[in-house]
Amino acid sequence: MSIRRPDGRTDARARRSGSPALSFSAGTDAGGIPPGRTGLGNRAAGFLFLAIVTAWAGSCGRDNAPAARSGDSGRTAAATAAPSRKTSVTLAAVGDVMLAGSALPVVERFGPDYPFDSTRTLLQSADFAIGNLEAPFGTGGRPFQKTYTFRVPPGFAGGLRNAGFDAINLANNHILDFGEQPFRVTLAILDSLGIAACGAGLNRRAAEAGAIVDRGGWKAAFLGFSLTYPDAFWATASKPGTAFAVKERVAAAIDSLRPAVDLVIVSFHWGKELHGTPQPYQREFAHAAIDAGADCVIGHHPHVLQGFELYRGKPIAYSLGNFAFGSKSVSCRESALFIASFDSSGFAGGRVVPLCVDYKKVQYQPRPMTGAAADRLIAELNRLSEKLNNGAKPLLPGGEMPPAPAVPVR
């Protein structure tokens, strides 16, 4: 796998848990580690790592790219090795990831891999995997004056890499909760782990540039945009922050990447919290993105599930709800993992995996549902989706999503 940065440079990265990965824990080495799990709680190593990436972040240039290395030709590993192209690829997408809040003591005790133990196989089996990181990694900074502010120990970041994430969206209303310093640290940590970051940057151009991930001979571009406040978090020409969505700028970002890639995946942080129905503007932006050339739209922020739409033969997941999220909200008990398949003709079908995220039952480790519980959630998603698909149900029993929704029975 290789990741193309906003300036066009690429870094070859090893992929998945079978490859070496940086993994530090800010937790303790005391008891409570589940059988077979090693204690990763070396605080000294974690803080040393933080010091290194903080220094790196403090010397960052305007566009997120470190200084060019001697002899760096900019060629991707894929181009060098000339791998055979797969006939189709899959994308796995999840909702909000936030390992602070009420999840903090659990992750400190069991380690940063723990939240993903029940979904790792699903994430790693996909060619591309993306989620929304709802909090920065860091220990410093000052909290922004708002109701909820989150910050995650840097040692937890390795869990994302080991889970199988290739790309992470940062365009949301929490990534600058503690200001610029933890934000820069987050960019540096994700880069060091080989995870492509999209939706935020050291200025607006970088935030809108997206990232290209090469896998299986396919190049996928990931873009992220926020439609949430505070507006103080939005990047400007000279200030770090998130990519605020303006239709013309979204279209321009897609258009700039489209000729160089096989897939364009666009994430939006949008909608009304705890509402299962998309707002009209969500549909407008999703349709505009696909009209501009996007292959798939992924939404998050409501913390609950919203429906799926197939628009011009391309999938839109308006909200995948919370994933691994440190909250005890009784309103956020169910989520979904969306797997989409693409071939040379476009979207080739998908699958929705119902997830239980009720903290009382799963302790911040999303787990696939089975049996009647899974069937009930699939039925509920079809109910939420019918109005978005002219009365058709996009999901079959078991969660399969054909390339075209089932025609409603009259």
Residue 392 lies in a domain: yes
Task: Give the domain range for residue 148.
Answer: 92-196+274-288+305-401
pLDDT value at residue 82? 53
Contacts of 216 (CB under 8 A, 6+ apart): 83, 85, 86, 89, 127
Which amino acid is present at 71? G
The domain total for the chain is 1
Sequential DSSP letters for 330-357: TT--EEEEEEEEEETTEEEEEEEEEEE-
CA angle 395, 397, 402 (to 5 degrees): 40
Would 135 be classed as within a structural domain? yes
Query: What integer pLDDT is reported at residue 331 of this predicted model?
Result: 86
Q: Distance between CA 232 and CA 229 in Å, rounded?
A: 8
Residue 25 falls inside a structural domain? no
User: pLDDT value at position 178?
Assistant: 98
Q: In this predicted structure, what is the pLDDT of residue 28?
A: 30
Distance CA 222, CA 202 (A): 17
Q: Would you state the pLDDT for residue 405?
A: 73
For residue 322, the cross-strand partners are 96
ω into 230 cis (within 30 of 0)? yes
> Looking at residue 399, what DSSP letter applies?
S
- Asked, for residue 368, whether it belongs to a domain, the answer is yes
Kindly tell me the burial class for residue 17, based on how many C-beta atoms sit within 10 Å of its own C-beta (0-12, 13-18, 19 or more). Answer: middle
One pLDDT digit (tens) per residue for the chain, 410 residues: 555 543 344 443 334 433 333 332 333 322 332 333 333 343 344 444 444 444 444 434 334 433 332 333 333 334 445 568 999 999 999 999 999 999 999 999 999 999 999 999 999 999 999 999 999 999 999 999 999 999 999 999 999 999 999 999 999 999 999 999 999 999 999 999 999 999 999 999 999 999 999 999 999 999 999 999 999 999 999 999 999 999 999 999 999 999 999 999 999 999 999 899 999 999 999 999 999 999 999 999 999 999 999 999 999 999 999 999 999 888 899 999 999 999 999 999 999 999 999 999 999 999 999 999 999 999 999 999 999 999 999 999 999 999 987 666 55
**pLDDT attached to residue 140:** 95
Token output for 85: 């192209």
**Any domain includes 150:** yes
DSSP letters spanning 225-291? EE--S-GGGB--SSS-EE-B--HHHHHHHHHHHGGG-SEEEEEEE-S-TT-SS--HHHHHHHHHHHH
Q: In this predicted structure, what is the pLDDT of residue 46?
A: 44
In a domain, 7, yes or no: no
Q: Which ranges of 68-172 does DSSP label H, i.e. alpha helix?
A: 77-81, 104-110, 120-125, 158-163
In a domain, 388, yes or no: yes
175 within domain boundaries = yes
Which residues lie closer than 8 Å to 376 by C-beta, 6 or more apart?
A: none
